[in-house]
Structure 1
Amino acid sequence: MRYPSWLRVHLAAVRALLVLTVVLGLVYPLAVYAAGRLPGLESRADGSLVTIGGRTVGSELIGQSFTGPDGRPLRQYFQSRPSSGEYDPAASGASNLGPENVVDTLPDPKAGVEGVQSLLTQVCARSKAVGELNGVSGARPFCTRGGLGAVLAVFGSRAADGTVPHPTRVVSLNEEAGVVKAPFVASYKGVRVELARPGEDYAKGLVVPVRGDAPAEPAVPPDAVTASGSGLDPDISPAYAAIQVKRVAQARGIAPAQVERLIRRQGRALGFMGEPAVNVLKLNLALDRAYPVRQG
Structure 2
Amino acid sequence: MLATVRQLGAALRALIVLTVILGLIYPFAVWAVGQVAFKDQANGSLIHSNGQVVGSRLIGQEFDGPRWFHSRPSATGDTPYDAMNSYGSNLGPTNPDLVKMVKERKATVAKENGVPQSEVPPDAVTASGSGLDPHISPEYAAIQVNRVAEARGLSVEQVKQLVKDNTDNPSLGFLGEPGVNVVELNLALNQASGRG
Q: TM-score, normalised by structure 2?
A: 0.88
Aligned to 1:169: none
Would the aligned equivalents of 1:51 and 1:58 in 2 still touch at CA under 8 Å? Answer: yes
Q: CA RMSD in A?
A: 1.9
Distance 2:99 2:145 in 1: 27
Would the aligned equivalents of 1:252 and 1:292 in 2 still touch at CA under 8 Å? Answer: no
Distance 2:67 2:63 in 1: 9
Describe the SS at the equivalent of 2:62: coil
Please tell me the residue identity of whatever aligns with 1:234.
Answer: P
Aligned to 2:100: 121
1:134 and 2:105 are equivalent in the alignment: no
The structure with the largest strand share of the pair is: 1
Unaligned runs of 5+ in 2: none
Q: Note the C-alpha offset of 1:253.
A: 1.8
Aligned to 2:90: 96
Which of residues 59, 64, 67 in structure 2 aligns to 1:62?
A: 59
Distance 2:146 2:170 in 1: 26
Greater C-alpha Rg:
1
Q: TM-score, normalised by structure 1?
A: 0.60
Which of residues 143, 151, 159 in structure 2 aligns to 1:243?
A: 143
Distance 1:9 1:98 in 2: 56
Aligned to 1:257: 157
- Alignment coverage as a number of residue pairs: 190
Give 1:221-240 correspondences, 5 Å limit. Answer: 221-240=121-140
CA deviation profile, 1:18-59 (whole Å, cap 9, x unmatched): 111001110111112222322x63332221121212322111
Would the aligned equivalents of 1:83 and 1:232 in 2 still touch at CA under 8 Å? Answer: yes
Describe the SS at the equivalent of 2:12: helix
Give 1:1-296 correspondences, 5 Å limit. Answer: 4-38=2-36, 41-67=38-64, 74-85=65-76, 86-102=80-96, 118-138=97-117, 218-265=118-165, 266-269=167-170, 272=173, 273-292=175-194
Unaligned runs of 5+ in 1: 68-73, 103-117, 139-217
Distance 1:269 1:8 in 2: 59
Distance 1:239 1:292 in 2: 26
